[in-house]
């Protein structure tokens, strides 16, 4: 009659326990980012994945990218051309059109006299 060998006899191994400090958890409609060095009580960032807001988010990032100044290799700032200004203006117009489509109650009130017919 042989007994099964037990692996956990004797002194435990000296391996240090590795704690995972950075990780993400994906749920059905959101991604939760954890970093225990930054914030120990919970997630520091929650991304909500909603296809309704994808277009406005892409437009926002494009607008921020266009607003950043561009630099030459030697460090000098590049000129802002007319094409750059037109691209910035059209992107801003598209962004606010999409914003007011999603949030109609935030549209600014029209001021002035009513037109006469």
pLDDT above 70 for 97: yes
Q: pLDDT for 50-89, tens place per residue? A: 888 889 989 999 999 999 999 999 999 999 999 999 999 9
Domain limits of the chain?
19-49, 50-106
Find the mean pLDDT for residues 25-50: 90
State residue 1's pLDDT score: 62
- Residue 3 pLDDT exceeds 80: no
Whether this prediction's pTM lies above 0.85 is answered by: no
Buried b / exposed e along 35-63 (16+ C-beta atoms within 10 A): eeeeeeeebeeeeeeeeeeeebeebeebb
């Amino acid at each position: 009659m042989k007994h099964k060998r037990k692996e956990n006899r004797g002194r435990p191994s000296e391996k240090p326990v590795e704690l995972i400090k950075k990780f993400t958890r994906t749920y059905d409609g959101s991604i939760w980012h954890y970093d225990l060095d930054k914030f120990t009580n919970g997630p520091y960032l929650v991304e909500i994945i909603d296809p309704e807001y994808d277009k406005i988010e892409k437009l926002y990032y494009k607008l921020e990218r266009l607003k950043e100044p561009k630099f030459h290799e030697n460090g000098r700032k590049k000129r802002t051309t007319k094409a750059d200004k037109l691209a910035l203006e059209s992107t801003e117009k598209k962004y606010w059109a999409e914003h007011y489509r999603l949030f109609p109650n935030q549209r600014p009130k029209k001021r002035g006299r009513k037109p006469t017919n």
